[in-house]
Amino acid sequence: MGVGIIGINRFTPEKVVTNQDLEKILDTSDEWIRTRTGIEERRIADDDTNTSDMAYEAARKAIQDAGITPEQLDLIIVATVTPDHPFPSVACMIQERLEAKNAAAMDIGAACAGFMYGIITGKQFIETGTYKHVLVVGVEKLSKIVDWSDRNTAVLFGDGAGAAVLGEVSEGRGILSFELGADGTGAKHLYQDEHIIMNGREVFKFAVRQMGESSVNVIEKAGLNRDDVDYLIPHQANIRIMEASRERLELPVEKMSKTVNKYGNTSAASIPISIVEDIEAGKIKDDDVIVMVGFGGGLTWGAICIKWGR
């Protein structure tokens, strides 16, 4: 028996904010943003849509996709740094709305690596036989903590949610290996103090190094070689960081997920949103070996090697 993703979906707000829109409020240009980050537009949630609303929408559809009822959930984990409130957790808020009355619920904070942390936390409970179904949501409303007058950060981020249901999958499929890590000495490079504060160059260097290393590590831990990897889903922060990871794995361009152009950096939501888009585009198929890798404030990182399918 393996533990894998048996249902997945996403929610992205309707409102599109293009680079041209940002040119009107910031000293920036479409050309700068595109060439430095790969971002063309991002989605921004309206005032009435909070983090829990996006989490709920993604979760509801992921549960449907899994073919289970909310009562069958044993645990809800929400990875977010932009909860509606410090407490109750977003996980408790959506537990109520989903009527998942048998589920324990908690939020975890690992910033942009949060979805990786959530999946691996959930996996442990299923592997030990304690629980059967765990819902993991990555969700952010970063627009509420972005300083919209700071061009260094305002152009990078977007809002959205992705949700996955973990459960038992067929022999040979599911999570093959993982790596989670943290380095609190780098906390000063990326943190929230009312708004997002970032030392872009330091984060960039860390991300390029860590994404490459963690990707290689999970492939080795799974007992595989680079040639065995069918697809790479890096955290969608910056196309140049993503490209560095792809080159480290010597994969062709078409074997790397790219949604950063449409959504910007949606932090904990970026990897599950990408998975759903790639499934819809026919880029992910059953039995594909996929490496997912994320990094974020903390500093934190996480990578997973998974054989896709239920």
Ligand X SMILES: CC(C)(COP(=O)(O)OP(=O)(O)OC[C@H]1O[C@@H](n2cnc3c(N)ncnc32)[C@H](O)[C@@H]1OP(=O)(O)O)[C@@H](O)C(=O)NCCC(=O)NCCS
The question of whether 85 is a catalytic residue gets the answer: no
Residue 50 CB, shortest distance to ligand X, in Å, is 21
CB 165 within 8 A of CB 123: no
Residue 38 CB, shortest distance to ligand X, in Å, is 9
Measured over the CA atoms of residue 270, residue 274, residue 275 and residue 276, the dihedral's sign is positive
Catalytic entry in 19, 50, 238, 265: 265
Residue 142 CB, shortest distance to ligand X, in Å, is 10
The question of whether 265 is a catalytic residue gets the answer: yes
What are the residues whose beta carbons fall under 8 Å from the beta carbon of 291, sequence distance 6 or more?
215, 218, 219, 229, 231, 232, 233, 249, 303, 304, 305
* CA gap 45, 42 in Å, rounded: 10
Burial 209-235 (b: 16+ CB within 10 A, else e): ebbbbbbbbbbeebebeeeebbbbbbb
Tracing tokens 């932009």 back to the chain, one arrives at 82
Residue 112 CB, shortest distance to ligand X, in Å, is 4
Kindly report the number of other CB atoms within 10 A of residue 16's CB atom: 15
Residue closer to ligand X, measured from CB, 70 or 160: 160
Measured over the CA atoms of residue 120, residue 124, residue 127 and residue 131, the dihedral's sign is negative
Instruction: Tell me the longest C-alpha to C-alpha distance in the chain.
Output: 55
Residue closer to ligand X, measured from CB, 24 or 201: 201
Residue closer to ligand X, measured from CB, 296 or 309: 296
Residue closer to ligand X, measured from CB, 73 or 112: 112
Site residues (vs ligand X, CB under 6 A): 28, 32-33, 36-37, 112, 151-152, 155, 190, 198, 200-201, 203-204, 207, 237-238, 265, 296
Catalytic entry in 19, 50, 133, 235: 235
Q: If 0-12 CB within 10 Å is exposed, 13-18 middle and 19+ buried, where does residue 288 land?
A: middle
The question of whether 235 is a catalytic residue gets the answer: yes
Catalytic entry in 112, 189, 238, 305: 112
CB 169 within 8 A of CB 2: yes
Residue 57 CB, shortest distance to ligand X, in Å, is 23
Residue closer to ligand X, measured from CB, 152 or 217: 152
Give catalytic residue positions.
112, 235, 265
